[in-house]
């Protein structure tokens, strides 16, 4: 299963995530809402663990990064200053026959043409070449009757304080398309209240919204999503004028190491350098992950050098001085910024894609059924620190003698770990259920436990079992999750 066709792997993993309560289609009982997903019990736990791991790495373990939780709604001029109102869009083409809608740059990519950040005129010229060669057809119905490309705004409009029927450009507000806008707007308050010295960063986790032309590939590209972003402010003149280069490289290495630390093999990561940069950027790289379920390397996280354009724009449009005064050099300047930005769901999908395993249990040469099927198990071999449930408590019987013991163990361990108490079905089926949600350890209470005051602890990855005294369990798991 680990080397099968990407489409089959994709369908298998998506099915597992729904069946086991990780991800559901939003509003499914009403037919669903395209590009919007809800996260069930295990999905919520996994997402929370990923966000906690990111926050720990970005803020708790560093002296130079502080946290923020900014509002989703911001003053509409925010997005005028940032360029989103006038330029945050994608090229769209439509099929006149089946009414399907596509991103023109993605259509060109199918022909090996990189349309990243190209003008709409350039894109239409390339589309016309394909039309002339009779190569441009609808990916859905194969009709050649496709519209020219046009710009499609990704901004999601809303309203505050006025009825929807009076919504106009004068009173429109936008759901933020990215979280960094709030960081720039609270940069001055952060400096004034916390008095951080350059260089320093502001990090936050929060929701963002984009009216994607085509939301596809499950939770990889959605219209409502969470971002984990950090803006790092610095004086470009320090380090002999090499501050941008040195700080940029530091964050390259730091973010790359995060994925290795949580179990992503280096062979499945790649740096992608953007050749066409935004006008304000000096350099831009993406960390790509090789999604087996999506058929190859795709963007996971961006690490970009943004110059001082963002703060300069907001200073210009707001009339508020966003410069920084350096007490040592007695210099006043607009700080430059290095940004790291990653989607929570994309990160979750990478960890699941990497962890998903199907393996034969026992002797791989032996057959266990008349139809020739082997005994296999599905297991999410996800890093223990990220696993939704850390420990499952499984009494061998529903009899009170065992469930009384298992409930006591649950009560003690659940004070520190997210623990599940499962008494339904056979022990084998319960093991398989915990394997599928990635639980690192199962604790089995049997009738011998009443005599020797010990339980059997099973390791998810190796399936090895060992007998541990009940009064030593807390100490044992503290060592395992250290």
Contact 354, 234 (CB under 8 A): no
Condensed to tens digits (0 to 9), the pLDDT of residues 396-448 reads 999 999 999 999 999 999 999 999 999 999 999 999 999 999 999 999 999 99
Contact 63, 243 (CB under 8 A): no
Locus of tokens 């803020």: 59
* 202 bridge partner residues: 66, 231
pLDDT tens-place values along the chain, 482 residues long: 456 789 999 999 999 999 999 999 999 999 988 899 999 999 999 999 999 999 999 999 999 999 999 999 999 899 888 888 887 888 999 999 998 888 898 889 889 998 877 889 999 999 999 999 999 999 889 999 999 999 888 888 887 775 555 555 566 889 999 999 999 999 999 999 999 999 999 999 999 999 887 777 899 999 999 999 999 999 999 998 999 999 999 999 999 999 999 999 999 999 999 988 887 888 999 999 999 999 999 999 999 999 999 999 999 999 999 999 988 888 999 999 999 999 999 999 999 999 999 998 865 554 444 455 567 899 999 999 999 999 999 999 999 999 999 999 999 999 999 999 999 999 999 999 999 999 999 999 999 999 999 999 999 999 999 999 999 999 999 999 98
In sequence order, what DSSP letters do the residues of 320-366 get, joined into one string?
Answer: ----EEETTTTEEEPPEEEEEEEEHHHHHHHHHHHHEEEEE-S-TT-
Condensed to tens digits (0 to 9), the pLDDT of residues 135-184 reads 999 988 999 999 999 988 888 888 777 555 555 556 688 999 999 999 99
* 303 bridge partner residues: 285, 340
Stated pTM of the model: 0.90
In sequence order, what DSSP letters do the residues of 35-84 get, joined into one string?
Answer: T-EEE-HHHHHHHHHHHHHHHIIIIIT-SSEEE----SB--THHHHHTTH
Residue 251 CA to residue 266 CA, distance in Å, equals: 17
Q: Which domains does the chain have, with CATH numbers?
A: 6-77+156-352 (3.30.930.10), 89-153 (2.20.28), 389-480 (3.40.50.800)
Locus of tokens 């939770």: 219
Length of the chain, in residues = 482
Across 331-464, where does the E strand assignment appear?
A: 331-333, 336-343, 356-360, 376-380, 391-395, 419-421, 441-445, 454-459
Look up residue 111 and give its two tokens: 């022909």
Instruction: Classify the C-alpha dihedral 184-317-175-301 as positive or negative.
Output: negative
- For 259, counting Cβ atoms within 10 Å of its Cβ (0-12 exposed, 13-18 middle, 19+ buried), the class is buried
């Amino acid at each position: 299963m680990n080397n099968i066709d990407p489409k089959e792997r994709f369908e298998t993993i998506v099915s597992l995530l729904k069946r086991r309560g990780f991800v559901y289609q939003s509003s499914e009982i009403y037919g669903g809402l395209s590009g919007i997903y809800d996260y069930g019990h295990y999905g919520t736990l996994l997402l929370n663990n990923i966000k906690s791991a990111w926050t720990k790495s970005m803020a708790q373990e560093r002296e130079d990064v502080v946290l923020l939780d900014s509002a989703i709604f911001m003053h509409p001029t925010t997005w005028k200053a940032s360029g989103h109102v006038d330029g945050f869009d994608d090229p769209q083409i439509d099929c006149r026959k089946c009414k399907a809608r596509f991103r023109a740059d993605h259509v060109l990519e199918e022909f090996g043409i990189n349309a990243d950040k190209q003008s709409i005129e350039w894109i239409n010229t390339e589309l016309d070449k394909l039309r002339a060669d009779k190569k441009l057809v609808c990916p859905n119905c194969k009709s050649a009757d496709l519209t020219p490309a046009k710009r499609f705004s990704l901004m999601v409009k809303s309203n505050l304080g006025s009825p929807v029927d009076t919504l106009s450009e004068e009173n429109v507000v936008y759901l933020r398309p990215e979280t960094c806008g709030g960081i720039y707007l609270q940069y001055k308050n952060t400096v004034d209240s916390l008095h951080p010295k350059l260089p320093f960063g502001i990090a936050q986790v929060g929701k963002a919204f984009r009216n994607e032309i085509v939301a596809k590939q499950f939770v990889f590209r959605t219209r409502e999503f969470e971002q984990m972003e950090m803006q790092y402010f610095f004086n470009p003149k320090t380090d002999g004028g090499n501050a941008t280069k040195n700080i940029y490289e530091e964050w390259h290495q730091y973010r790359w190491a995060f994925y290795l630390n949580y179990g992503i093999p280096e062979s499945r990561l790649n740096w992608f350098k953007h050749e066409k940069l935004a006008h304000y950027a000096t350099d831009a790289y993406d960390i790509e992950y090789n999604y087996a379920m999506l058929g190859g390397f795709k963007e996971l996280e961006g690490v970009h050098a943004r110059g001082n354009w963002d703060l300069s724009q907001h200073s210009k449009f707001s009339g508020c001085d966003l410069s920084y005064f350096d007490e040592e050099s007695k210099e006043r300047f607009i700080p430059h910024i290095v940004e790291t930005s990653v989607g929570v769901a994309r990160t979750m999908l990478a960890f699941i894609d990497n962890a998903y395993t199907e393996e034969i249990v026992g002797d791989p040469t032996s057959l266990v059924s008349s139809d020739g099927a082997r005994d296999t198990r599905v297991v999410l071999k996800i890093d223990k620190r990220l696993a939704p449930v850390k420990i499952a408590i499984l009494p061998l019987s529903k009899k009170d003698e065992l469930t009384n013991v298992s409930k006591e163990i649950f009560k003690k361990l659940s004070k520190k770990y997210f623990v599940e108490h499962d008494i339904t079905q056979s022990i084998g089926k319960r093991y398989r259920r915990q394997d599928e949600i990635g639980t690192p350890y199962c604790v089995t209470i049997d009738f011998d436990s009443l005599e020797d005051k010990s339980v059997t602890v099973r390791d998810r990855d190796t399936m090895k079992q060992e007998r541990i005294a009940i009064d030593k369990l807390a100490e044992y798991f503290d060592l395992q999750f250290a």
